[in-house]
Structure formats: C-alpha cells, structure tokens
Amino acid sequence: DHLAICLVSWYLYQIQKTTHGQEMSQKERKIEGNPIPGRLPRHILTQIFDLYNEEWNSIMEHLQFCFQQETAMVKATDSSDDEWEWWQGNQMTMNFGDLRCANGVGNNNGNEEAEVENENINSSRMMKSCLCSADLIVFSFVLHENSSFLLVQEHNGDYELGGVLKVMLESAKKGAIVICMDSGNTLWPSFRKTALQYGWNVMSDAQKSHKIILGPKSFCLMKRVQICNPNEM
C-alpha cells in the first residue's frame, strides 16, 4: 500500500509536469537564476501515517531517494545546483499515527507510556495539520478492521463517525478529496451520514453496485464542497 501511495505521488508530479509545459528551456524557467513561480510544478509532499511506522522507515527512505532523484531530473544532467535544490522540495515521509483516537495518538500502557508520549503528541499534531491542509487523503485497507474504534453510538441508537476520521471531516479544506479502499462497506453508511453534515459529497459501492475492475473490493470517494459545522447551525 505504501508503495502504491508513492506511485500516486509520482503520478501527480507527472500530471503537473505536463500541465506546466516542462519542456521549456532552463533559461525560460528562471528569472535571475531562480525558478519562476507557476512555471514549475508544485512540490508533492507525501506524508504516510502508520501504527507500525518504524518497520517501514528503511523502505520509505529508499522510495524517498528514488522520488527525489526522478523529480530533480538527476543531478548528472545539466540542471544547475539551485534548481536541484529546489526540486528537493518533493518529499515522502513515514510517521507514527493511530487513527482510532481523535488525537491520533492512541493509548500507551505500562512503563513505556512516558517514554513515547512526547513523540506521539508531536505525531498527533503533524497528523492533524496534514488532514487540515492535504489535497488528497487516502485510507488503504485500514478502516474496516478498526470500525469498532471509529464508530460512536448516539443517544437514539444510531452510529456516527469518531476518531481521527471525525477530525478529518471537520477540519479538511474545501476541495479536499478522500479515497477509501477496503475489504468491506459496513462503515460507509455512518461515514456518509457524518460527512454530509460537514459539507462533503460522498459516493461508495454501498450506494452504487458496480465493481472497479482490478480495484479494491469496496470503496468510498468523497470531496468537500463547502465548509459547514452542524454544531453551529
């Protein structure tokens, strides 16, 4: 899944490369040696959050190197040093994250709690910041297995979304797109109910009975079209 997300980052970079006419000469791309704003693709910042992030760190470091090498057009080419440095803004990072809790940290028990608490708090803040500013948010085969932690029962017996998903629905920017892929669609009705209250358009296989060829067994696609909060209505 992490490799697939990295490939999405490369695809987004390539789309921009084509859109911005990247075949222009180096002289055309710069003013007094500096990249021209709007004439070069935006940096693609990919932040991956995982409960077992440490096990993935070495792999992500290699993927990060490959991604930067490609987007920097490889220093062996005639790219100047300042342009090489600018392209290094394309980043992939692996971070700790626990989507079962609204603060993104989770519960740590025993003697290790004090030792990891500060690191987890920083990771929590990073996750919240990412959810507020991200253009594209992907949940890949991780929601269904944690559904018991993500659903909150209301007074009338119905369920709504909780955990970090509720934080995302409340704080994501207008225009943000969310792609959820999973092995089952039992979570989607509650997901949709909560998302609609916060200004999201939602479509899933729970509503539309067709499969994506060579795709996930179940999916949910969302886009935030307006900023609203049901608690303020």
Q: What is the pTM of this model?
A: 0.76
The pLDDT tens digits for 174-211 are: 999 999 989 888 889 888 988 999 999 999 887 766 66
Closest C-alpha to 182, from 147, 135, 223, 224:
147
Closest C-alpha to 226, from 195, 205, 204:
195
The pLDDT tens digits for 50-85 are: 888 888 888 888 888 887 777 665 444 445 555 555
Nearest-angstrom CA–CA distance, 157 and 168 = 23
The pLDDT tens digits for 29-51 are: 444 444 555 455 677 888 888 88
Q: How far apart are the first and last CA of the chain?
A: 39
Contact in structure between 175 and 193 (CB atoms under 8 Å):
no
